[in-house]
């Protein structure tokens, strides 16, 4: 190979045995491993990097995909909220909705507790009268206990949901601050 200047170029590459080779050409099987182009004085004129491995290519694809996902998320965030105050208002509305669901469940729980107390009074009255407690009364108590348990689990899950919402909005708030200030 002769460059336009008329001076011979040399190529330095590593062969299959790990030996550094100087040659006037790079064999095709070694091109993907990368090589150096030297001038006539032996100085490195250009470095041709090795081709990326399959693992490296996959990592680059994942990075591009993650960048694209972030770009879409940023675009959505900027479309939804004009500034941090707007996001804070949306956060407060969402927390208020969850708080209302908790308050409703707690109110239902109190009503169930009042019903339970009434059913227990009736059952105690039957026992004091020397009668056996009606099976339907016992079923109703069991149903109230089951519904109370469901409501307690709902309240717990809603309190966890508040924590998740707080964490999510904190991340969005931080990112929105970066996007609107930068």
Same structural domain, 89 and 114: yes
Helix (H, G, I), strand (E, B) or coil at 86: helix
- For residue 101, pLDDT beyond 90: yes
* CA-based nearest residue to 31, from 51, 8, 54, 53: 51
- For residue 169, pLDDT beyond 90: yes
State residue 40's pLDDT score.
83
Please give the Cα distance from 41 to 54 (Å, whole number): 36
The domain of 18 spans 10-48
pTM for the full predicted model: 0.62
Sheet bearing 44-48, strands edge to edge: 20-23, 10-14, 35-38, 44-48
Taking only the tens place, the pLDDT of each residue in 10-65 is 999 999 999 999 999 999 999 889 999 998 888 999 999 888 888 998 999 998 99
Taking only the tens place, the pLDDT of each residue in 70-99 is 999 999 999 999 999 999 999 999 999 999
- Nearest-5° angle of CA 114, CA 117, CA 118? 90
**Alpha helix segments (H runs only) across the chain:** 28-31, 54-80, 84-128, 135-181
Which of 42 and 141 is assigned the larger pLDDT? 141
* CA-based nearest residue to 51, from 38, 60, 42: 60
* Residue 69 tokens, joined: 């996902």
State residue 2's pLDDT score.
40
**Contact indicator for 176, 74 with CB cutoff of 8 Å:** no
- Contacts for 90 with CB less than 8 Å, ≥ 6 apart: 80, 81, 169
Paired strand residues for 48 = 35
132-138 average pLDDT score: 94
Total number of domains constituting the chain: 3
Same structural domain, 19 and 72: no
Specify if 69 maps to a domain: yes
Q: Report which DSSP code applies to 10.
A: E
* Residue 138 tokens, joined: 């016992």
Specify if 57 maps to a domain: yes
Average pLDDT over the chain reads 91
Same structural domain, 167 and 145: yes
Same structural domain, 34 and 88: no
Specify if 98 maps to a domain: yes
Same structural domain, 62 and 131: no
Specify if 2 maps to a domain: no
């Amino acid at each position: 190979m002769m460059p336009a200047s008329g001076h011979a170029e040399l190529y330095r590459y590593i062969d299959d045995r790990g030996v550094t080779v100087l040659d006037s050409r790079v064999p095709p099987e070694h091109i993907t491993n990368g090589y150096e182009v030297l001038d006539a004085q032996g100085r490195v004129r250009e470095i041709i990097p090795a081709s990326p491995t399959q693992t490296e290519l996959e990592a680059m694809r994942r990075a591009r995909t993650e960048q694209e996902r972030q770009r879409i998320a940023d675009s959505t965030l900027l479309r939804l909220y004009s500034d941090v105050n707007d996001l804070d208002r949306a956060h407060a509305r969402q927390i208020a909705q969850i708080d209302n669901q908790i308050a409703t469940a707690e109110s239902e729980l109190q009503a169930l507790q009042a019903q339970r107390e009434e059913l227990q009074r009736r059952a105690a009255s039957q026992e004091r009268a020397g009668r056996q407690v009606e099976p339907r009364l016992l079923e109703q108590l069991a149903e109230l206990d089951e519904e109370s348990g469901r409501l307690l689990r709902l309240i717990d899950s809603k309190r966890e949901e508040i924590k998740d919402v707080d964490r999510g909005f904190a991340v969005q708030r931080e990112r929105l601050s970066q996007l609107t200030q930068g």
